[in-house]
Every structure is written in C-alpha cells, then in structure tokens.
Chains A and B, each alone.
Chain A
Amino acid sequence: MALTLAAAFFLPLFPLSIVFNGLLMRLSNPYARFALVLLWPQIGIAALSFTNQAIPEYMVIWAIISSGLYALRLLTVRDLGLWAGFLASSSLALTWGLAAHHTPVEMHLFAFWFSLPAALLTLLAGSLSRRFGAAYAGLYGGLASSMPRLSILLVITAFVAIATPPSPGFFAMLNLLQRLSLLAAIGVLAIWLLWSWAATKLMQGFVLGADRRHGLPDLGSAAILLYMGVLCVFVVTGLYITGDAL
C-alpha cells in the first residue's frame, strides 16, 4: 500500500499532485522542467511494478476525479509552463486506469505518449519566456504573424498533447477506454473534451490576433527541424506501436 501511495505522488493524484506541480513551478530552467515531466511518471510506474497487490478500484475512481479536476482547472490557466504541468497532471493520472490490469509496459508507454508533448511544451514556454519575459496567453498575441515557425510548433505540440489523431495519445486513449467500465469511460471522454477546449483557448491567446510585437527573432531553422523531427519520430513510433496494438 505504501508503494501504491508513493506511486500516487509520481502518477500525480490530487492532492499529492501538488508536489509535482509545485516542483515544476519552482524550476526555472526549461530543460530541468522537460526532464521532470518526462521522468517523474516513469518513477511512479516503476514503483507500481514492485507492488504485488491488486490496485483497488477506488484508486481508478480517484484518478479519474483527479484528472477531471486538473482538466477543469486547465481551462483558465494562461501560463504555458503551468498549463503543460496541469495537462500532464490530468493525463498521467489516467495511467491508473491501466494499473488494474498489471501491464507495466503499456503503462510506461501510456505515460510517455502524454509526458513527451507536455515536456516539449515546457521547452516552448522557455523559448517564449526568453523572448517576451513570460509565456502568458493573451499578454501578447498574433504570434502567427510575427513568429510563424514558433506558432506552428506550438499549435502542433498542443494538439499532439491533447491526443489528436494520429498522435500516439489518441490510440492510447482508445486502448484505455476499452479497459474501463462504461461510467469511467464516459468520465474520461468528458476529460478529453475539456482538454480540447483548454488547448483551443490557449492557442487563441498566443497565436491569433493582430501582431503587436515586432523585431523579435523566430525559432531558428535548426531548432524547428529538431522539434519537428522529434514530433515526427514520436508520431510514427506511436503509430507503429499503439496503432497495431489495438
């Protein structure tokens, strides 16, 4: 039971998720944030794989409620770094839906499919903070005109993060829904809807609107190629692994 509770810190369930989000807020280095979002859930899954006990049903209910709470809160978050953390808290909590089936490989992959795009968003938050002093939706806007490369990357990463097909998250969600009871599946679908709403709201705050800031450099060619390359490999790998595993 202690290991299960410890796992709830790493596969963040409210209120234990405060630790994850608090840490993410305190870290100012984007690469440290990237590493935290990517590695933190994997520790939780490793901890769970050492438990011999069955995961109680109430843990799954707790996870869905916690995920729903963060999805709801996501709607009014405007700081991109914090948004990535809340989205990770919401999506990673759903890993508990697979925990009852004792499938550690699937759980590791599920967490990876959701943590990598969220981690990339923290890096993009770092890029925006370096240019504008803050990565805050609605503070400036019209990035599509002034920084088209960064905008495209931001939009694609956000849509991948909310499990839009053909991202691996989409197939992972379908796989998860098959494992859940009908009521739990309805809850997860409602959470998925809130993610879409929140992502659209966030994008509108950053990318759209009249261009109000000129003269700041867009992402370089190397950076955009690297980011897009990572996303392409991520999607293709996901299609190969999750697409065929259904």
Chain B
Amino acid sequence: MNQPIALLLATPLLSALLILLLPNLKRHGIARLSVGLSALTFAIAVISLALYMFHPHPQWLSSGLAWGSLYLDPLTSVMTMAVTGISLVVHVYSVRYMAEEPGYARFYILLDLMTATILLMVSAGDLITLLVAWHLIGVLLYFLLGHDLVRPTAQRYAFWSLFTYRLGDLPLILASVLLYKAYGTFAIPTLFERIAENPDVQTVLGLPLTFAVAMLIALSAFARSAQFPLHTWLPYTMEGPTPVSALMHAGIVNAGGFIINRFAPVFVHAGLVLHIVFAVGMVTAIMGSVLMLTQNDIKKSLGYSTMGQMGFMFVECGVGAFSLAIYHLVAHGLFKGTLFLDAGSMIGNARKQDGVPHDDIYTFVVERKPVASRMPWVVAAAVTLVVPFLVLGVSRWLVAGDFIGQQGAVILLFFGWATGAQLLFATYRLRAENPWRLMAMIILSLIIVVFGYTVIEHAFNLFIYPDESLRNRIYAAASIPLGTFETLVAILTAAIVLGWIATYYATANGKQQSGNTSAARLAIYSLISREFYVSDVYAWLTQGILGLSQRMNVWLRWV
C-alpha cells in the first residue's frame, strides 16, 4: 500500500488513541500531542500531493478485504491537503479557545477522529468504505456540536444536524446497493469502468439506472451541503464550539461538492440530474444570500453565507464546472474558516467602535477634510457593465479560446460579470476625495484577481480532470438545447444591463425611503425573518410524528 496515504489516515487515529489511553495527560500535553500529529498529517498530505504530481497515475490500494480500500487520484490528493490544512488551523485555534471548557481530552479525541473520518471519505476506494465514512461523519459531528453537555440548545441543534445527515445517508446507501446489484462490484475504479462500458444496464422504476443513481447521489449531497429545503440545520451549528463551527463550515459541509465530483463518471450519463442540481443550487444561493443579509448575528449571518456559497458550488456542478466546484470548496473553506475564527474578535471590536461613518458636515467642519464625491452615475454604470464583461471575457479567452461553445463556461461568466459589477457598484457608492482614482485602483485589482483566478482555475481543471474527453462529456451533459440557451442568455443580459442602469439611476436620483411601510413589504419581511417558515414546517411534522407514536403506544398498551 502507498505509504503516505496509509500514514495519512493512521496519524490522526493514533493521536485519538494516545489521548484516550493516556488519561493522566495534562491539557497542554493533550494539545501538544494532537497539534503535533495534526501538523504531521498535513505534512504527509503535502508530500502525498507532491508525489502524485511527479507520478500522476491514479492508484487503487486494496486492504485485502471486500472493503477498506483506498483510491489515490487528483481529487483525493487535493482534498486531503485541504482537509488536513483546515484541521491543523482548527487544532491550533482550539488550544486556547477550549482551555477553559470541560471535556478537553474528549474534544481533541473527537476532532482527531473527525479528521481521520473525513480523510477516509475523500480517499475511499470502494462504496462500503465511502458509506462507513459518510455515515460516521454525521455521528462524530453530532458529538462535536453537542460538546456542551448541559446546554439544551447545543443538543437540539446537534440533533438537527445528525438527523439531516442521516437523511442524506440513505440515498447514498440506496445508490450503492443499486450500483452493486447492477455491476457486481464495490471497487470505485472498476465500477466506473463498467459504467462507461454499459451505462444503462438496468432500469429502476422505468428510469435509466445512471439517472436513478445520480439523482440519489445528488439528494445525498443536498442534505450534506445544506441545500434548500434541507438547510435548516446549518445556520444553527454555531451553537457548538467556535472551532467546530469553523471546521463544519470550512470543511464538512463541502462534502456534497466532493461526492458529486467523485461520481462524475455517473453524472456524465445524467444530464437532467445536473439541471436539477443547477436549479436547487440557484434557489439555495438566492435564499442563503437573502437570509444572510437580514441577520443581526454575525455567526448566523456567516452560517447563511455558507448556505449561499454551497448553493453556488452546486450551480457550478450543475453547469458542468466540476473542478471549479472543488476549487470553490477549497477557497471557501479557507476564507470561511478564517471568518469564523475571527468572529469573536470582530464582536469585541464592534463593541469598542461602531464603525458608522461620520456625515459630510462633520467631516468637513470637525475633521477638516474635503467633502467626498462620486463619479457621474452614467459613467459609473457604463464602467460597471463593460469592464467586468471585458476582463472576464479576455481572461477566459486567453486560457481557453473555444469557451464560447461551452454553455457552462458562459453561465459562469455571467456570474463573474454580476459579481464584478457588484464590486464596482459598491465602489461607486463609496464617496471619496478622488472617485476616479478609487475606481481605477479597484478596476486594476479586479483585473489582477480575475486573471489570477482564471489561470489557477484552468490549471486546477487540468489537474483534477486530466482526461479531456471526460471534461468535455461533463460539459456536454450539463448543456441544454442551443436555442433555449441563447434565449436565456439574451434575457439574462437584458436583465443585468437594465437592472444595473436602474440601480445606478435610483442610487443617484432616488430619495430615502421613509414613512409607513406597506403591507406587502411587511409580509416579505416577516417571511424572511421567519426564515421562510421551513423550520416551522419541520417542527409541525415532528410534533405530528411524535404524537402518532405516543398515541400508538397508548392504544397498544406499551407492548
């Protein structure tokens, strides 16, 4: 068996085992042991990735049993490095953060076991190992989120997470059973070879097998990555310790994107499922973003931000940009982990300085600074619409000249366009002494970021999916009829152009809203503030099921 990958799994397990077997170890000893072995795990992951880059050939490593095999491919290599990196940061942060908490040893044991289990999931070489790891992550997360054994809310929300995760386990189990029945193997590489040879060997309830399996995997991914309406558990996971929230939002919740990538050879035969993934991701991204903007609690706001980001990750999968979803997953993991770990300092700073800017008169009279101004709105609107479009288009054309033929790439360009425009609009709203200079600097930054991002993303795509035909088949599966696509592009372009012009006009010429709020606005506000009543529906269903259970026990006299 390949030494680095086997060591990678063994190191966090060894850490958990040593802490368990050494009950007299003091807190600083526990921390040193766990952080030291966590750093070693990260180093092994880096070596493993480096070795893979020198010898880029996927390896399937058998355990000698029907399960317990490992699969080392580009996806595994990248994911192990991301997971171990985030885990190391969380380990280090927890040393002081958890110092006053009871159950220090238990916390580090669970953290190490979680790291080992996630590593097992990303490197699983057969369906059984994948299922074992997939299932165990939910159980371990339950104990980590419920680390505070006394607080009822921590336990309640830990249970929400466990239940949603168990709900997500079931479709993956069913998909594995269907695949085994149809192809007679649990080994992932062999399975993919047989699927490629004969994709629709059977039908399930009249549907092609690959469609049914892809749909089940997508359902599993929806639950794991908090897609609407299975998202309610995610914003409340901050009831657990902050390092767990960071690990959760930076790593564990991304499992949905990973599982779709792992089963990419199935999804190339299930284009309709990719369209469903796109639609669910889009709805989740919008809902998550709306809910994020209406929160007054920074951690809950970050929770909904993760929901929105997960939605975007599924949108990327839905348009066939599978490797981009992995890139997004890693990048989101790093920045969201940082935000969570920094949330406490932010709250502390906000208590000292509210951050509200002074008005123009105060700035001019008291601070003796010139009054800030804005660019003319027509110019700003033109820059906002043209510059991001050009920058994105040119950067994409430089790395892949034929991108116009790829629907997924075009849709992603639209997202980039809207995001770039958002940045420039935010710049326009900032009053500055020299607004032209400010806008120029922001545009320069945008160019550097977009070009850097495009080059990295392109290299990442070539590394994760070196097989060009697979890349093209994924894009082809995600495509829709050309006429429909062109109509959608025209509508979207018109919406973006007219929408931004209207926004700029309203910002430049509009008046502040004041006075009575309309009934419709209040209705929308209450809908959002109640988080679209999704949790209420679940609470109502739960009460119904528990009531039925109780009535049956009473009727049947508890035997």
Contacts and interface: CB of A to CB of B under 8 A. Distances in A.
Contacts of B559: 18, 21-22, 25
A207 B177 contact: no
Contacts of B548: 72
B549 A72 contact: yes
Contacts of A201: 159
A73 interface: yes
B174 A246 contact: no
A189 B170 contact: yes
A83 to B, nearest CB: 11
Contact of B149 (A18, A166, A207): A207
A200 B159 contact: yes
A39 to B, nearest CB: 19
| Interface SS of chain B | helix
Given A72-B548, A243-B65, A174 B174 contact: no
25 contacts: A18-B556, A69-B552, A72-B549, A73-B552, A73-B556, A75-B549, A76-B546, A165-B132, A166-B132, A171-B128, A174-B173, A177-B173, A177-B174, A182-B178, A189-B173, A189-B174, A193-B163, A193-B170, A200-B159, A200-B163, A208-B155, A209-B149, A243-B68, A244-B65, A245-B66
B290 interface: no
A210 interface: yes
A165 B553 contact: no
A174 B204 CA distance: 19
Given A25-B559, A174-B176, A177-B177, 16 more contacts: A22-B559, A72-B552, A75-B546, A77-B558, A170-B135, A171-B128, A182-B174, A182-B204, A190-B170, A193-B163, A193-B170, A200-B163, A204-B159, A209-B150, A243-B128, A244-B66
Contacts of B205: 182
A5 interface: no
Given A22-B559, A75-B545, A185 B65 contact: no
Contacts of B550: 76
Contacts of A69: 552
A243 B150 CA distance: 37
Interface in B156-203: 159, 162-163, 166-167, 170, 173-174, 176-178, 180-181, 186
Contacts of A164: 135-136, 139
Contacts of B139: 159, 164
Nearest to A151: B149
B221 to A, nearest CB: 17
B56 interface: no
B14 interface: no
Contacts of A21: 559
B308 interface: no
Contact of A196 (B136, B166, B178, B186): B166
A196 B177 contact: no
Interface string B539-558: 00000011011101100101
A72 B178 CA distance: 27
Nearest to B167: A193
A211 to B, nearest CB: 8
B410 interface: no
A30 interface: no
A6 interface: no
B337 interface: no
Contacts of A189: 170, 173-174
B452 interface: no
B389 to A, nearest CB: 48
Contacts of B128: 171, 174, 243, 246
A82 B558 contact: yes
Nearest to A144: B149
Contact of B181 (A18, A73, A165, A178): A178
8 tightest CB-CB pairs across the interface, nearest first?
Answer: A165-B132, A75-B549, A189-B170, A21-B559, A76-B549, A76-B550, A144-B149, A196-B166
Interface string B234-264: 0000000000000000000000000000000
A73 B553 contact: yes
Interface in A183-197: 185-186, 189-190, 192-193, 196-197
Contacts of B425: none
A73 B549 contact: yes
Contacts of A75: 545-546, 549
A9 to B, nearest CB: 14
B376 interface: no
Contacts of B174: 177, 182, 185-186, 189
Contact of B146 (A177, A208, A246): A208
B499 interface: no
B135 A165 contact: yes
Contacts of B29: none
B545 A208 contact: no
A142 interface: yes
B67 A200 contact: no
B290 to A, nearest CB: 30
A105 B65 CA distance: 20
